[in-house]
Amino acid sequence: MYQLYGIPNCDTVKKAKRNLESNGIEFEFIDFKKNPPNRELIKRWKLKLGELPVNKRGRTFREVKDIYESSTEPNQVKLLIEKSSLIKRPLLEKNLKPIFIGFNSEDYDQLS
C-alpha cells in the first residue's frame, strides 16, 4: 500500500488524492498537521530529491526564508519538523521508499 504525506487543505495534495482514488489505488493519507514528519522521513526524502524537501514557493517559506537559509542542515530539518507546511508536497511512498515528491498526473497514472 502507498502512503501519501501532506496537508489536507493543499490543492496539490487534493489532486493527488483524487487521482489515486479515481485509479483505484489504495493509500494511507498521513496528515503533517496531525503527524509531523520525523528526521528519518525527512532524510529519506532528501535521498530521493538530492536536497531537503522544501517548498520554496510557499507562504511559509517566505516567512522563514532568512532563518532557514542561514541555518545548518540539522536546524533546517528541525524547522521542517516544526513547520511542516515548509515541506514540498505531496510525498508518495511505497514500502518506505519515496516514489514521487510533488504531483504530476502522468506519473500518478502509471501507478498500479
Half-sphere exposure of 84 (CA within 13 A, CB side): 21
In which band, very low, low, confident or very high, does the pLDDT at 39 lie, cut at 50, 70 and 90? very high
Q: Where are the domains of the chain?
A: 2-109
Half-sphere exposure of 32 (CA within 13 A, CB side): 24
Q: What pLDDT does residue 15 have?
A: 97
Single pTM value for the model: 0.90
Name the residue type at position 73: E
Residue 106 has pLDDT above 80, yes or no: yes
CA 68, CA 54: separation in Å to the nearest integer? 10
Q: Residue 49, exposed/middle/buried by CB under 10 A (0-12, 13-18, 19+)?
A: middle
In which band, very low, low, confident or very high, does the pLDDT at 48 lie, cut at 50, 70 and 90? confident
Mean pLDDT of 25-52: 93
Residue 25 has pLDDT above 90, yes or no: yes
Residue 10 has pLDDT above 80, yes or no: yes
User: DSSP 3-state assignment of 33?
Assistant: coil
Q: What pLDDT does residue 42 have?
A: 95
Q: Which CATH number fits domain 2-109: 3.30.360.10, 3.30.1130.10, 3.40.30.10, 3.40.50.1370?
A: 3.40.30.10
Q: What pLDDT does residue 49 have?
A: 85
Catalytic center residues = 10
The grid cell for 15 is: 489532486
